[in-house]
Amino acid sequence: MTPSPVTGANPLRDAADRRLPRIAGPSGLVIFGVTGDLSRKKLMPAVYDLANRGLLPPGFSLVGFARREWEHEDFAQEVHDAVKEHARTPFREEVWQQLVQGMRFVQGTFDDDEAFERLRSTIEELDKAQGTGGNFAFYLSVPPKSFPVVIQQLKKHGLADQTNGSWRRAVIEKPFGHDLASAQELNEIVHEVFAPDQVFRIDHYLGKETVQNILALRFANQMFEPIWNRSFVDHVQITMAEDIGIGGRAGYYDGIGAARDVIQNHLLQLMALTAMEEPSSFDADALAAEKTKVLGAVKLPKDLGRDTVRAQYAAGWQGGEKAVGYLEEEGTDPDSKTDTYAAIKLEVDNRRWAGVPFYLRTGKRLGRRVTEIAVVFQRAPHSPFDTTATEELGQNAVVIRVQPDEGVTVRFGSKVPGTSMEIRDVSMDFAYGESFTESSPEAYERLILDVLLGDSNLFPRTEEVELSWRILDPIEQYWDKHGKPAQYPAGTWGPVEADEMLQRNGRSWRRP
């Protein structure tokens, strides 16, 4: 008898054994800016939920780095509170006990060499006490201006060095620059310290189940793909609407605006997934290749003044509450030209999509919070019914609802019951919550796990980021030089200019 060697292939692992979850190897996560909102509301609960689902390795360690004067216990308490408040899965004491053993806090500022030395010794201590094996991911939940400092400090103190087969990864959040030049600069800084395949750019939209479902819907089914092209599709609308204003984030938001904040990353990624060709396989390289091809084929409208719209919300009533206008928000420059609403028309120059417009819009203080992709089909070329019968019939549509109320809606015409022939639009609905688990993993859960596993399927790459800026930069430059933002009352679906932009092509925005 020969016992199977455990080197390389683990005999207990078997591709056919699909009950066994993908558990990350020994590792730890270091969060910079751990006192921030994102960390408390998303990252800490996600780490707990992962542990609760049994997806974290035994000995997983969580290190917080921030300026605050905390002891390890204070940090653990903070995480505890954040978990209790925001975690999706029920709180279980034994899971908490498992996690708390690997929690450490390092106090310091980003330019403090001593603090980074302490961080290094903390990591070494964790390798000994928790068996993390030198594998650490650094989550940079910090303002963009601190990126370079932190990255340089990591390099200076040898924290980015991968030794004896261990890994060090960097996780960075948007914004990835504010234009192409700054994005390239940022990439240079990061790639000087971390290899490109060890850099994970979080676009939390890509971690959402519904977004991954775009690929399943398109490529696992036979009934959608044959009509997913210019012969049948009239146009595509991708919407991300928020009902909130900028809140207290004027400092960050002013000068950035909706297009840079949302279109450059989320909407262009959604568009790439909607428009791309079938990847040869579901691995990171193949996916990135297809997305890159689509983003590279995007064509800007000739007349940017006609086919783009930007606007700011004015005072108005939002869902029964009075809302102030953007320019009256605390901390905004009263002469600000920052857009809180942006709508653009893009085309994809390839055989599949030539001539099909993709309308992308995003805004704050719109009717309600919703993100969706609507693929609107052409009308039937011939109708045997007379015009009165089909008066109320719109265009067929497949709508992928990304959030909230995740699901897919198919809209088509149906006969109204009765003796006369009358055809009206009806919706056929698939709701995630109805057919699958209500506790589907949160986007950050999935993404953190993927970082620890080193799986980069759901992370945009350098080329994608740069291509997206190439699409957006000319629009932003045009806006800088021409005119000023239109105004729309808070709580409505955007400025009339945006409606006119579609009317010129004989189309209209969906009310999501």
Q: Which residues are catalytic?
A: 266
CB 348 within 8 A of CB 299: yes
* Residue 438 within binding range of another protein, rule CB under 8 A: yes
Among 163, 222, 281, 435, binds another protein (CB under 8 A): 435
Among 14, 111, 113, 278, binds another protein (CB under 8 A): 14
180-193 vs 462-481: helix crossing angle, rounded to 10: 150
Distance in Å, CB of 143 to another protein, minimum: 35
Give the per-residue contact string, 100-139, with another protein (x = CB under 8 A; - = no): -x--------------------------xxxx-x------
Distance in Å, CB of 122 to another protein, minimum: 15
Instruction: Give the number of residues in contact with another protein, rule: CB under 8 A.
Output: 47
The nearer residue to another protein, 20 or 320, going by C-beta atoms, is 20
Rounded CA separation 4/1 (Å): 9
Number of CB atoms found within 10 A of residue 192's CB: 11
Q: Which stretch binds another protein (CB under 8 A): 15-23, 63-71, 138-146, 320-328?
A: 15-23
Distance in Å, CB of 165 to another protein, minimum: 11
The nearer residue to another protein, 98 or 378, going by C-beta atoms, is 98
CB 211 within 8 A of CB 204: no
The nearer residue to another protein, 8 or 381, going by C-beta atoms, is 8
Q: Which residues contact 186 (CB under 8 A, 6 or more apart)?
A: 144, 147, 148, 176, 177
81: left (phi over 0), alpha (psi -120 to 50) or beta: alpha
Q: Which stretch binds another protein (CB under 8 A): 56-64, 69-77, 370-378, 486-494?
A: 56-64
Distance in Å, CB of 412 to another protein, minimum: 16
CB 240 within 8 A of CB 266: yes
The nearer residue to another protein, 427 or 505, going by C-beta atoms, is 427
Among 280, 439, 503, 508, binds another protein (CB under 8 A): 439
* Residue 436 within binding range of another protein, rule CB under 8 A: yes
Give the per-residue contact string, 133-172, with another protein (x = CB under 8 A; - = no): x---------------------------------------
Q: Which residues contact 9 (CB under 8 A, 6 or more apart)?
A: none
Distances (CA, A) of 409 to 45, 256, 396: 31, 33, 11
* Residue 28 within binding range of another protein, rule CB under 8 A: no
Q: Which residues contact 461 (CB under 8 A, 6 or more apart)?
A: 196, 201, 288, 292
* Residue 367 within binding range of another protein, rule CB under 8 A: no
Among 33, 45, 57, 207, binds another protein (CB under 8 A): 57
Distance in Å, CB of 18 to another protein, minimum: 6
Q: Which stretch binds another protein (CB under 8 A): 33-41, 144-152, 219-227, 429-437?
A: 429-437
The nearer residue to another protein, 12 or 223, going by C-beta atoms, is 12
Tokens of 414: 């149906």
Task: Report the length, in residues, of the chain.
Answer: 512
The nearer residue to another protein, 94 or 386, going by C-beta atoms, is 94
Rounded CA separation 497/310 (Å): 9
Q: Cis omega (within 30 of 0) on the bond before 196?
A: no
475, exposed or middle or buried, with CB in 10 Å at 0-12, 13-18, 19+?
A: buried
The nearer residue to another protein, 97 or 387, going by C-beta atoms, is 97
DSSP code, position 236: E
Q: Which stretch binds another protein (CB under 8 A): 89-97, 177-185, 214-222, 323-331?
A: 89-97
Among 347, 425, 429, 499, binds another protein (CB under 8 A): 429
The nearer residue to another protein, 128 or 382, going by C-beta atoms, is 128
Kind plus residue range of the DSSP H or E element containing 125? helix 113-129
CB 308 within 8 A of CB 346: no
CB 304 within 8 A of CB 478: yes
* Closest by Cα among 47, 43, 66, 67 to 55: 47
* Residue 94 within binding range of another protein, rule CB under 8 A: yes
* Residue 223 within binding range of another protein, rule CB under 8 A: no
Among 37, 54, 181, 354, binds another protein (CB under 8 A): 54
Number of CB atoms found within 10 A of residue 270's CB: 27
Q: Which stretch binds another protein (CB under 8 A): 267-275, 301-309, 350-358, 436-444?
A: 436-444
* Residue 454 within binding range of another protein, rule CB under 8 A: no
Residue by residue, DSSP assigns 134-156 as T-EEEEE-S-GGGHHHHHHHHHH
Compute the chain's Rg from CA coordinates. Answer: 25
Tokens of 342: 């942006």
Distance in Å, CB of 205 to another protein, minimum: 24
Q: Which amino acid is at 473?
A: D
* Residue 434 within binding range of another protein, rule CB under 8 A: yes
Rounded CA separation 175/173 (Å): 6
**Residues paired with 64 in a beta bridge:** 31, 105
Among 47, 50, 51, 233, binds another protein (CB under 8 A): 51
Tokens of 358: 């993709």
Say if strands 308-314 and 341-348 run parallel, antiparallel, or are unpaired.
Answer: antiparallel
Distance in Å, CB of 212 to another protein, minimum: 17
* Residue 257 within binding range of another protein, rule CB under 8 A: no
Distance in Å, CB of 78 to another protein, minimum: 21
List of residues contacting another protein (CB under 8 A): 1-7, 10-14, 16-21, 23, 25-26, 51-52, 54, 57-59, 92, 94-95, 97-98, 101, 128-131, 133, 429-431, 434-439
